[in-house]
Structure formats: C-alpha cells, structure tokens
Structure 1
C-alpha cells in the first residue's frame, strides 16, 4: 500500500504532529515528513499500513521496533523520539535524515573507495553497539542506510529486529525474514541468527558498493537466497582484490568463521591498512559536503585525524589517515585506504595554462610537486620527432614523480590512466619509434618498480599483496621471469606454505 492510498484511506490525525508530505514506504508502513509541534522539529513519521495494523502480530512487531530502536542511542543508528497509536493508527516518530539512502548513492555511481570504507565503518560501529545491547538487525541493506547532511551514515529500520536472547515473540520459528540479496545463509535457512548474520549482510553491502551490484543475482528471490547458502564467497575484481580479506571475513558461509563482531571487523580493517605494501596510499574522496570538515570522505562524526605508521612505528606513510570518532571514546575507522596499483581514475584539477612545447630529448626536471592531473601538451602541428620527445619527457617526468617516496602520490600515475601515465607515454613513443631506447628503458624501470615492491610484500609474508603487485608488473611485461616466480611464491604462501624467496631484485 503506497503513501497516497494511505493518506486517502485513513484519517491521519495524530495529536502533536502535522504531516507535511510522504517521503517513503516499505512493506509494513509509509513514512511522512512531519512536524512534531511540541518541539517544532521535523521528524520522519512512520505510519503502519491499515491492513497490517489489523493483524495483531504485525502491530506487535511495529511497536517492538520502536522500543528496540529507542534503546539504541548511537551516532550511527537512527534516533526514535516517540511511538504509539491513536484511533487505530500505529505510528513511530524518528529523526528526519535528509541525505538520502545508500541505495540511491550506489545507483548514481561514483562512490570512491575512501567513501565506501567510511560507510562500511559507520555501519559496523552501529551494528557493534546494537549487538552489544543484545539485538540483531536482520535487514542490513543499502535501502536501510541513510546519510545525514554532514555525510555521516545512519542505519535505520529495526522493524524486523530480533532480541538475540530469543525473547522477541514476533519472529516465527523457521521463517526467513529479510531481503534475499543481503541475507546470511543461516537466515535464508530460517535458522536462529545472531550479530554475525548482520555482518554477513554488511559484507554483501560492501561488495555491492565496490562492484555496483549484489554478490549473487537471479530473477528469482528464492534462487538468490539459495545462492547465499550454496555458492562460494564472491571474489572482488582485480582492482579491489586487496579488500578481499574483508569480504571473506564478513561473508564466510559458517558464522563461526566470520568476524565475531563489528569491532573485530574494524580492527581487521586497521590491520589491513597497517600491513599494506610500501606503495599503498590514501585516496581521499572528492565527495565532500558543506560542513563535513576534514573527514576523509565527508562522513565522520568527528574531525580529528591520526596518522597510521607504515611499519609499526617506523616512518609514517604520507596520506594514510584515520579519524578518531564514535561513542564512549571508541575509535571509529573512517579511512580511505587505496592500493598504489588500483586502476582508479583520479580527480582532475583545473588544468594549468598550456606549457611551451619541449623538443629537447633531455627529460625536464621534476621538483616533486606535479599535480595529479599532470599533462604534457602535444602541439597538433608537431613533427614526429617532437611528438616522440614530448611523450618521452612526459613519461619520464611521471616515472620520477610516481616513484618518489617523499611525495604523497607515491605509486600513482605510473600505469593508470592508460593515456596519461608514464607507461602510456612510453608506449606512445614506441608507436612512433618502436626501437626507442629511452621508452624501452622507462618501461623497464616500471617493471623494476613492481619487482621491488612485490618482493618487499613477499618478504613481509603479505602474500596477497605480493601476488597482486607481481601481476601488475606482468601486465607490462608478461614474460618477466622474476615476476612469474613471485606470483608462484605468493600463491604457495597463500596456501599456507613457507616458500623460499629469490634474491632481492637489484636496486635501481
């Protein structure tokens, strides 16, 4: 029953509230923007559908939602102000959160990895608090994740929440309540659930934010639910492979193999950042909103930032930041970790004025302050040699910039984007002059960069990172024997072996 029908079929005259307009609906109720007259504040007024209000079990569940959520006062959980019934109309008044839903953001596209990690961290903190209070949400999905104006994420709709001690009588034994795209295997089987079921659902949301679609897809909801039970944990695409351990820890088929709670997941996220290979850098989102302060992706409850050391107290890695946040002094991870090699388009700043054409084969000096959108202009009427020199100069400038550990963009602009990276420019030069020694030397330097970083990751037993770095090098030179050897070693390390490493690659 939609909001319009509800408005015309029931005389909604709830004392103390002035209804302004409908703003949403769900399976149990419609939601209106209203004014709570006593405090002159806008609220989201949730009114139960008349048909369901006549059913005592659904009416009971609706009232239980308000009582549960009212106990869960947390920055990442929606706040309930009032609940009750009047003249047969059941209602719940909650804070009005105007920033839209995560479902809308995913549909619109453009979420950065930094923003995604902010979102998943906020949800995990809200869930951790709810689970500590003894309640499991059972319907964690993008449509139930809302955004405040400052970008902070809030989890809403505890309408089918269940007390983990089994005291919630509104749950029918053997029933699987939730949304098939996001439900855990035990939930799909109609078995008892605890907080780890919510964490599984969080894993599906994380996967969808990264890949743009739920992990399992079918036109039949029953088939989707069955896939959650029978199919393996989904694999992220190569560009997000470094986050696979988080998906594995959230979406393990057996609850006992998942993170025990939201805090454990957040700790794992801390460790993933701390153990990242040398080249990993933070990529801050550009999706900031007014008033969001300095939070990485514009969605934190606090603005304080703390740097993460690169290797247990050694030199700090530039740009890795974590905001300190949360209730009761808990640290809320709101980080934007990004592997140096993820092929993600970079935001392009305002272009600089055109530079004069450089035809001198000597590479231009690099001062370490090149912008992310750096381009070396190529004149339309340049002769062949001028184009070759220009491409070589651009490639060498970006190679020097991206391999300079002293700047915050270490590892960037080396091989992505294809038409504006060191590799891209070297290949442009080779198209014009297939035997060009400078271009070949530049490509060899890029391969050496991946050899060195892959080796360092293997040396620290970061097998997944080692394999990923080595494969990125193989994308440049598929026949490189050293990188092929490291890929094999990384695979054996992932299987629990203790492979011997080859000698370190020579320093360049």
Structure 2
C-alpha cells in the first residue's frame, strides 16, 4: 500500500497515542491494550458487523522496509494456522501511514493472568493440554511461538483457552530474523535461557515457557522474579529450579524437566510433554522412560566398603554408560533426577588399629558374630527411583494422515457437536482431515452423516413454517457441503427433492388465498434454500398475477388491504367525491342542502351550500359544504346502485389513504393550484404510495369516528384554508356533524370480497 505521508517513528508513535488509526474496512472504536511492540484497538469489521481486535505494530519495532516485508510474510504464514486452540488472524495490512497491523477475533473474557487456578489442578491440566495441543500443531509446521505467557492465553465465549500473539513467532525453516540480530524477543519472566542469550531456538524454548506457566498456575507466582531484566535472565540460566509446595510435589518432576537449563534435557516435543501431563492427571507423577532396577541391582553387588573410591567410580562409570546408551526404549531421552548425595564412606588407614593385622586383598570378611563393626554401608542413591512403562491405546492409526482428525470428528458427532462450539465440532475436524487426506473414504462417509443430520431438520422447519430456523440450519451446512464437494451426494440432492413439493404446496396455498405476502415469503425462502424458480413452476410465475395493495379494481376503487382468513379486504375511492357526483345524488334523492359555514369565520351573513360554496368550482372539484350526515346518505345511495357496501371510513381505515410517508401542504407550496379562496380539481397534486390523491391540501375529509355523543364527527387531512404551518396530512379535528364546511368534503371506502379479486 502506498503511504499517504512520510512520518518518523517518533511522529507515528505520537499519532497512535493521540488518534485512532484509520484501517480500511474497519471502524476503530478505542484502544484496549498497549505493549512494547504494538498497540491494540477494539474495532468493528464493517462488512460483517463483528467486533475484532486490531493490533498495530509500533513504529520503532520494524523500522525498515525489509523487516516489514519479513513481518508481513511471517504473519501471513501464521494466519494459515487453523487450530481450535489458536487465535487466528483475519487480515494483515498497512495503514496509509505505513504502520503494519493485523486483525484478530475480539475475545472479551480476559487472559490467563487474570484467573486464579492455584486451587484447581484439573483446570490447570485443561489449560496446559490446550496450549500443548496448539504448540504441537504449530511446531509441526515449523512455527515457534517464542512468547508463551499468561497474557497471551485468551478465553473465548465458551471459556476455552486459546493461544494468541504469534506476531513475533519465527519459522524454523527461515534463518532470517525479524528483529535486530542478537536481540532476544519474548517476555523475560518466561524466557528460556538460550532465548535470552539470543541463540537460535526451536520448539523446546516454547516448552520451557509452558513449564514456567505451569509453575505460575500452581503457585500463583513466577518461579524467578527480579526487577532487572539481566538479573532475571541470569536466574533462568543459572539458578536452581524452585521447589513446589508439599501439596503440589507430584508436579515437581514435570516442572524440572520442562524447565531444564539445556534444551537437550527437556521434553523432546509437545506431544511427549502432553504424555507426562496426562500421567499427572491420572494420579501418577511423570516417570523415566526406562527401568533402573537392573542398575540398582548391579550397583548393590559392586558397592562394597572394601572397594573404596575405586568401587564408587566404577558405579558412576556404569551409570554413565547406561544413561548414554541409545536404543528403542530410551531414544536418547535425557532427564534429571534430584537425590541427596551419598554419605561419605570411611576408608580405614594403615595405623588405625595397631593390634589387628590389616586384611589382605584376598581375605574374606570375618563372620558377623566375631567381626568388629566396620563403616556403615553407603545409602543407595537409587533407592527411590522406579520406572514404569505406560501404554496408551489410540482410537486411530497415527501413521495415517488425517486419522486423528477423523477420530475427533466421530467423537464430536457422538456428542452432537456438529458445527458448534467453535474449535470443537465435527465440521472443523473434517475440514482439517480433508486438507491432510482429501481422498480418504471415511471422510466422505462422515461428511454425509453430518449433512444427513441437518437435512431432515431443514425439511421439518419448512413444513412447520419455521422459516428462520430452516435458513439457520441451511446456512450452517451449505458452506460445508460446498467445501467438502458433496453437492452431488445422495443425502444433499435428497434435500432439494424434499423441498420442492413443500415449497410448491406453500406457493399454491398462497395463490388460492390470494395472499401475496405469503407467496413472497415462500419465494424468498426458496431462494435462500437454493431451490431454483424453474423447479416451482407454474406456481412461481402465476404468483405475479396476484392482487396487491394499490391495484385499481373494476369500479376505479384502489385496493388497500387484501382479504385474509375469511375477513374481507378494503378499497377506497382514489379521490374525494366530486361536485358532479354529488349533484347526481342530490337530484336523484331530492336531498335538501345542509347549512354551510366558513370554519374560520363561523358567523357570516352570506348563505352557502354545496352548489354555491362562496367560490367558483367545476364539476371535477371535490364537493364541499356537505355535512357528515350528507356523506353517509350518499354512501347508502351509492351502495344500492353499485352493489357494494360503501361507507364513510373510520380513522383507522382512512390512515392508509392519507399515508404519504411525508408532510407538507400541497396547496401552500404550489403543488396544487388551490389559490387563496377555493379548491382545486379532485385528484390533483401528489399521490400516496398506493396511488390515492387529495389528502395534502385540497379539502379535509369526514370520518366516521365521533366525539361528544356523536354530535360531532372527526375530519382528517389538510384543506385549502389550513395555514402553511399546518402540514400533517394525518391530523384530525372534530366538527358539528349536521353542518357543512367550505373546506371539508369526503371520500368513501368499501369491503372487498375474495371472490371479487378471483374474477379479475
């Protein structure tokens, strides 16, 4: 990425301390941590709307382009580590200022240093097992962590420990160093002696750190503590390994070997260290890999006072020869046994007893009854040493690639852990097995069993109308099917075969009920479940013909609500009743005109009526100066003529008519040519989303809701007399029901039967 500007390391550090960094694709919220080499921020990945941790490297940690490129290359290598006990890396990149960063999952449950397991050895074993499993995986791929410590062990939402911060790790296959040559990288309280000296390290340095961490978890403090980093490094290199409390003594051999000063005297690898840990969990201390009983018997035969120093040297030589022996039992495996040194053996001198002759080299010892007391026999240094061979049976063949992962998948399937929890489920195990053995027959069989678990659950959810549940289960299994290339497997094709009749039946039911919403839901579900539209024909295409809100019916009414569950739908006139329409009614019924008022000037000497409202009107203008009773009488007359049950709407029925999803007085802002003293043509001006007109400033409309014993009725909307500051089209006020007003008209609504829509 091209840098936006060149800043010095000091300026970049100041920038990080003062402002949130800009990371493309992420919204940085706040800083949540700071270390010697990086600063950590809480952010949100905008594309997935998930919280992440963003680690921005300190400008002083990587000062030149070569070191930055090496870091990026190594970080990408680490990002390929996929293990349930390793925190993965989502992304590696640079900011516009050239700062290196990488993005990790945000784990909010804290780190190991914030927990106290001093009284919970089972939890200590669980944590160490997870770390050793993670290190075994990383070491097998040539990656050494180099900074194993309590703060780098985080807990996920299931409270499982995960190893993080491989940011300073190095590949054993790469002899280059990210940091300056000779600089020891890591945390001093956990650092192996060879790492502190700046020597080339391997996985055994990580095992040393695990040993330090085990000591800390058992005791609540580090084995070595010093304020001076150099003094602390010297303590790790020279000081004896501290002793555990008496109640934790069974851990001492494990700690001694893990923290051996020389890498050659430690566990060979994480798997061997895990075996020793399992012995502790089983109630036995870690034991040597070979039997010393033969050496004990041999030593007792030759350890005689008469032998003196020569005899002792012989035993030591034999012991050295035994320990130096290589073979299938020992595999050149080193360990340390701590024992008290033997007591000194007193060798009599030539003048010790003048009265007795000094025995010759061939003389036999005197019988016990007459012999004078000699020096006490030296204590056997191996009296407390024993060995035992432990055989652990595996449920898989470790020589076969992917066998361990397949065995793990079987166990997880038995426990119904198919896609959850993260890090311990069958899908993840099978994915790892596929990387190692893509053609293993058991891989296909187990994958189909996992898929077969979800298929009936998806079908049952669709059958019961639990659409979201069906989507959730499909969303879990479909990516797995694609990744394992099981799209043509019988178990997966059976899902489509089962979905097609279910979805087709739901579509047809929606069509029969003229339920456009139900049909739309079914179509959306079919799309989400991967069922193509052609598989659901002809119902899929017929759904386009369904009536919907906003459709114009045969008599010009606009459909507002569809019939549903035996209840009729609702339609409304597109605009207010016109003066010409009302004239036909008045002529047919000889209805007497109501008294009319100017609602802003109730007292007026001028007589007004619907055919002479006091201003000029055409036949296409909305009728005014009609009372609520006039409007109700017109509805009854129209219903008899048309066969539909027209009526004055209630406020609830009128709201979808007036809902314009906005505000404004169309008469006052020029969208209707109302002028200052009269109405405009009915249907003029803006329309609602359903296509209805006339509610934004021409005339108000009578509603059926009443006030004060129904002597007064509501009128809603905006009229030509409303001032510019009255701009809410949903407003209502009450008026005398038996009087007309020169800015109040009406429109009618009617029921819509399902049979009417079926005839369309």
Question: What TM-score comes out, normalization by structure 1 length?
Answer: 0.52
- Whether 2:76 is the aligned partner of 1:67: answer yes
Count of matched residue pairs: 287
Q: How has the CA–CA distance of structure 1 residues 175 and 52 changed in structure 2, closer, same or farther, with 3 Å as cutoff?
A: closer
Unaligned runs of 5+ in 2: 1-9, 286-336, 338-377, 388-760
Partner of 1:320: none
Q: How has the CA–CA distance of structure 1 residues 495 and 6 changed in structure 2, closer, same or farther, with 3 Å as cutoff?
A: farther
Q: How has the CA–CA distance of structure 1 residues 151 and 111 changed in structure 2, closer, same or farther, with 3 Å as cutoff?
A: farther
**Structure 2 Cα separation of the partners of residues 490 and 38 of structure 1:** 71
Partner of 2:228: 220
SS of equivalent to 2:90 = strand
Q: How has the CA–CA distance of structure 1 residues 129 and 6 changed in structure 2, closer, same or farther, with 3 Å as cutoff?
A: farther
- Whether 2:102 is the aligned partner of 1:98: answer no
Q: Is the 8 A contact 2:21 2:95 kept in 1?
A: no
Q: How has the CA–CA distance of structure 1 residues 235 and 96 changed in structure 2, closer, same or farther, with 3 Å as cutoff?
A: same
**Structure 2 Cα separation of the partners of residues 169 and 43 of structure 1:** 29
Which of 166, 170, 189 matches 2:174?
166
**Structure 2 Cα separation of the partners of residues 154 and 490 of structure 1:** 46
Per-residue displacement from partner, 1:15-39 (whole Å, max 9, x unpaired)?
A: 2101122111211211111111112
SS of equivalent to 1:149 = coil
Q: Is the 8 A contact 2:74 2:170 kept in 1?
A: no
Partner of 1:39: 48
Per-residue displacement from partner, 1:221-254 (whole Å, max 9, x unpaired)?
A: 1111011111122221111001112112211111
**Structure 2 Cα separation of the partners of residues 180 and 270 of structure 1:** 28
Partner of 1:130: 138
Partner of 2:35: 26
Q: Is the 8 A contact 1:137 1:198 kept in 2?
A: yes
SS of equivalent to 1:117 = helix
27-36 vs 65-74, which moves further: 65-74
Deviation at 1:205, TM superposition (A): 0.5
Q: Is the 8 A contact 1:10 1:50 kept in 2?
A: no
**Structure 2 Cα separation of the partners of residues 3 and 56 of structure 1:** 15
**Structure 2 Cα separation of the partners of residues 240 and 3 of structure 1:** 48
Q: Is the 8 A contact 1:207 1:214 kept in 2?
A: yes
Larger radius of gyration: 2
Q: Is the 8 A contact 2:25 2:47 kept in 1?
A: yes
SS of equivalent to 2:234 = helix
Which fold has the larger relative contact order, with Cα–Cα distance below 8 Å and residues 6 or more apart in sequence? 1
- Whether 2:191 is the aligned partner of 1:183: answer yes
Question: What TM-score comes out, normalization by structure 2 length?
Answer: 0.35
Deviation at 1:212, TM superposition (A): 1.2
Which of 370, 380, 383 matches 1:493?
383
**Structure 1 Cα separation of the partners of residues 195 and 57 of structure 2:** 25
Q: Is the 8 A contact 1:229 1:253 kept in 2?
A: yes
**Structure 1 Cα separation of the partners of residues 146 and 129 of structure 2:** 18
Query: Root-mean-square deviation (CA), in Å?
Result: 3.1
Q: Is the 8 A contact 2:125 2:281 kept in 1?
A: no
Q: How has the CA–CA distance of structure 1 residues 118 and 6 changed in structure 2, closer, same or farther, with 3 Å as cutoff?
A: farther
Q: How has the CA–CA distance of structure 1 residues 64 and 238 changed in structure 2, closer, same or farther, with 3 Å as cutoff?
A: farther
Q: How has the CA–CA distance of structure 1 residues 223 and 187 changed in structure 2, closer, same or farther, with 3 Å as cutoff?
A: same
**Structure 2 Cα separation of the partners of residues 53 and 242 of structure 1:** 44
SS of equivalent to 1:233 = coil
Partner of 1:89: 99
- Whether 2:244 is the aligned partner of 1:236: answer yes
Partner of 1:247: 255
Q: How has the CA–CA distance of structure 1 residues 4 and 253 changed in structure 2, closer, same or farther, with 3 Å as cutoff?
A: closer
236-245 vs 60-69, which moves further: 60-69
Unaligned runs of 5+ in 1: 278-463, 465-487, 498-508
Partner of 1:477: none
**Structure 2 Cα separation of the partners of residues 79 and 226 of structure 1:** 34
SS of equivalent to 1:239 = helix
170-179 vs 2-11, which moves further: 2-11
Q: How has the CA–CA distance of structure 1 residues 30 and 262 changed in structure 2, closer, same or farther, with 3 Å as cutoff?
A: same
